[in-house]
Structure 1
Amino acid sequence: MNKKSQTAQAILDTAESIVQESGFNGFSYAHIADKVGIRTASIHYHFPNKEDLAVALIERYTDKFVAASARIDAESPNAPERLRKFIAMYRDPVLEYRTCLGVMFSSDASTLSEKAQEQLTGFISATLSWLEQVLSLGRSEGTLRFEGDAETQAHIFLASLQGAQLLARSFRDIRRFDQITEELISAFA
């Protein structure tokens, strides 16, 4: 990776962490520059404006999710195991009292550009589609039980995870996340 790519990655890594902690409207380029140890002009070189940064963050987050869900599918023999690994992905940010990027961007959606909102919708749609497939697989293999259709249940599952993150963060207590997600899995078993 060349120096230009390394700088862009450091900017994205830092911005992602800040957004997960403070939201997209909770920082400026000066915050990133300070943490990365560069000038704000360097950030503007890679991401001319905050909209460009938002779009890049959401694209990268979507790519990470697609890769992680493919890995989960390849490594996990059944639907309950896939759901547990998916929950683990949502648990990781809570350990540092942060939330997933999707939650934080969603809370700032009204202030995002149309392009960033479209990227966010794409990320959430990809997540819901994967969850729907896993739930449908679990129902067909007999490892998951639920009423109604898999699409609605995918929405409920994702909303529950996002809410669990927010509650655990609010109380600064990972046990709340774990209790909610255990009940969530139990409801499908």
Structure 2
Amino acid sequence: MNNNKNTAELILDTAQRLVQEVGFNGFSYAHIAEKVGIRTASIHYHFPNKEDLGEALIARYQREFVIKVDQIDNETQDNLEKIRRYINIFSIPVDTYCTCLSVMLSSDLATLTEKVREKLAAFFTANLEWLERVLEQGRSEGQLRFEGSAQTQAHKILTSLQGAQLLARTFRDANRFNLIGEGVISAFT
């Protein structure tokens, strides 16, 4: 049983890297099988179809996100620092000129199943709700300054970071992400 879990995780790890490199529609189970060194039947055992794989990928991605922002919340009460650490989460794939899973899945949105689209929307909702809470708390505690609603600012942050990933990937220049990340931080001081 433990071996099955390890195989499923290895499949998910490989599929996530492929999505981040070529998009959800840019690979098949044969690509995963080749990279993992298993038969496609083994992949179908864990994920009967690509929709199941997509749902599992985004569900795992959201669980990891919740863990990361909980860790941020537990490690600091400084809301500007929370936003810095949130930006750092988005900077991780930039070093390999990839984008996060959610950005790549969004680019394939028209071809994703309704279940995968719903899970993707839930992931973005979790991001926006966390950001809104941090922004509201930061403004009420005097740590953050901004005009307008926290909801609008949260959307600006999320879209800025996603766009920054795309620019860094397109130009193969991580500094473009850093430039935008710094701009996000300076907007609240």
Short-chain TM bin: over 0.9
Match of 2:78 in 1: 78
Aligned runs of 1:33-112 on 2, under 5 Å? Answer: 33-112=33-112
Q: Is residue 2:172 matched to residue 1:172?
A: yes
Match of 1:123 in 2: 123
Within 2, Cα distance between the matches of 1:18 and 1:137? 37
Within 2, Cα distance between the matches of 1:72 and 1:22? 30
CA RMSD of aligned residues (A): 0.8
Percent identity over the alignment? 62
Structure 1 residue identity aligned to 2:179: Q
TM-superposed deviation, 1:141: 1.1
Match of 1:186 in 2: 186
Secondary structure at the residue paired with 2:99?
coil
Match of 1:136 in 2: 136
Offset from partner CA, 1:18-61 (integer Å, 9 cap, x none): 10111101100011001111010100000000000000000000
Q: Is residue 2:15 matched to residue 1:15?
A: yes
Offset from partner CA, 1:109-160 (integer Å, 9 cap, x none): 1101011111000000001000101111110111111111001110011000
Secondary structure at the residue paired with 1:95?
helix
Structure 1 residue identity aligned to 2:89: M
Which aligned runs of 4 or more in structure 1 are off by greater than 3 angstroms?
none
Match of 2:163 in 1: 163
Q: Which runs of 5+ in 2 are unaligned?
A: none
Secondary structure at the residue paired with 2:187?
helix
TM-superposed deviation, 1:76: 1.5
Within 2, Cα distance between the matches of 1:76 and 1:104? 30
Offset from partner CA, 1:76-127 (integer Å, 9 cap, x none): 2211100011110100001011101110111111101011111000000001
| TM-score of the aligned structures, taking structure 2 as reference length | 0.98
How many residues align structurally?
189
| TM-score of the aligned structures, taking structure 1 as reference length | 0.98
